[in-house]
C-alpha cells in the first residue's frame, strides 16, 4: 500500500519501540518521515533506515518543539501526519511516586503531546487536512497496580485527544489515539525488574486473553490506519490494541 505517498509524517519517540516501528511503517507506505527523539543518535539511526530526516528534541521543552516543527515545515513544506508517541514510564503508588517523577511524567506524556499538537495545528489548518495520532495506553482506561503517574497521564492523553478532535474537526483535522496493552519493548523494563522471562510469560498468559504480548509492528499498523484516509470518518477515538486485556 502507498497510503502516504507524497505526505510527510513527524514521529516522536522514533528511536525505539512503537515510534521506531511506526516510522518504518509510514515510510514503507510512501511517507517522508521526520524522526524526532530526545536521543539524537537514535533519531539519526531511524532516519537513516527510512531515508528520512532526524530531529533531536525533548518534547517537554516548548522552544525545542517549536524549533523542531518549524525545521520540519521548512524542510518538507507541509506536515500531514503527527504521531505523538514519546513517553516515559515511572512505576509506583501515590505514596511511592515522588513529585519530581509525577511532574516529569506529565511533562513528557501530556505537555509534550499538547505542545506538538499546538505547534503543527496551524500548518494543518492552512492545508485543510491533517491527522494526529497520540500514543495513550490501556492504563489510561483501566487502572493497573502501582502506576499512579503513568495511568493518570495516559487518561489525560485520551481526553486531550477527544478535545482536539472536537475543536478541529471542521478544519479537516482528525485526532485519535491508540491504546496499547502489553507490548514487547524495553519501555516496560522499569516495571519488570527482577521478573524472569518465564514469570513474565506466565503473567501475560494470565492477564491477556490472547496469551501473548503485542509487537511494536502491530501497534504501528493501528497508527497507520488511524493516520490514513481509510479512517476518514474516525476522530476522537481511542483505539485499543491489547489482545483482549481490557475486555476481561
Q: Are 47 and 54 in contact (CB under 8 A)?
A: yes
Sequence-ordered list of residues with C-beta below 8 angstroms from that of 90, at least 6 positions apart, any chain: 97, 101, 104, 105, 149, 150, 190
Per-residue burial over 126-158, b if 16 or more Cβ lie within 10 Å, else e, is eeeebbbbbbbbbbbbeeeeebbbbbbbbbbbb
Distance CA 99, CA 53 (A): 36
* Nearest partner of 240 among 173, 172, 163, 183, judged by Cα: 183
Torsion (CA) 151, 157, 163, 165 in degrees, nearest 10: -130
Distance CA 58, CA 91 (A): 21
C-alpha 231/C-alpha 151 separation (Å) is: 27
* Given 150, 168, 182, 187, the catalytic residue: 150
Angle between helices 148-168 and 112-127 (to 10 degrees): 20
Asked if residue 26 lies in contact with residue 11, where contact means CB atoms within 8 angstroms, the answer is yes
168 is catalytic: no
- Give the Cβ contact number of residue 122 at 10 Å: 11
The residues carrying an active-site annotation are 150
Amino acid at each position: 500500500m502507498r497510503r502516504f505517498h507524497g505526505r510527510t509524517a513527524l514521529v516522536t519517540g522514533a528511536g525505539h519501540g512503537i515510534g521506531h516501528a511506526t516510522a518504518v511503517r509510514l515510510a514503507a507506505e510512501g511517507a517522508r518521515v521526520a524522526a524526532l527523539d530526545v536521543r539524537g543518535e537514535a533519531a539519526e539511526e531511524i532516519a537513516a533506515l527510512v531515508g528520512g530526516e532526524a530531529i533531536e528534541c525533548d518534547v517537554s521543552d516548548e522552544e525545542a518543539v517549536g524549533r523542531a516543527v518549524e525545521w520540519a515545515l521548512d524542510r518538507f513544506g507541509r506536515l500531514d501526519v503527527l504521531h505523538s508517541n514519546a513517553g516515559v514510564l515511572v512505576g509506583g503508588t501515590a505514596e511511592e511516586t515522588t513529585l519530581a517523577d509525577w511532574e516529569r511524567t506529565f511533562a513528557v506524556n501530556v505537555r509534550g503531546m499538547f505542545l506538538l499538537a499546538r505547534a503543527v495545528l496551524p500548518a494543518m489548518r492552512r492545508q485543510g487536512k491533517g491527522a494526529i495520532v497520540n500514543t495513550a495506553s490501556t492504563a489510561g482506561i483501566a487502572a493497573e497496580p502501582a502506576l499512579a503517574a503513568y495511568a493518570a497521564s495516559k487518561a489525560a492523553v485520551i481526553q486531550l485527544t477527544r478535545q482536539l478532535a472536537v475543536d478541529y474537526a471542521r478544519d479537516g483535522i482528525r485526532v485519535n489515539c491508540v491504546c496499547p496493552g502489553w507490548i514487547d519493548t524495553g519501555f516496560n523494563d522499569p516495571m519488570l525488574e527482577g521478573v524472569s522471562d518465564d514469570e513474565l510469560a506466565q503473567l501475560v498468559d494470565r492477564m491477556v486473553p490472547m496469551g501473548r504480548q503485542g509487537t511494536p509492528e502491530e501497534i504501528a499498523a493501528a497508527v497507520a490506519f488511524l493516520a490514513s484516509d481509510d479512517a476518514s470518518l474516525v476522530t476522537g477515538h481511542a483505539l485499543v490494541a491489547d489482545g483482549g486485556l481490557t475486555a476481561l
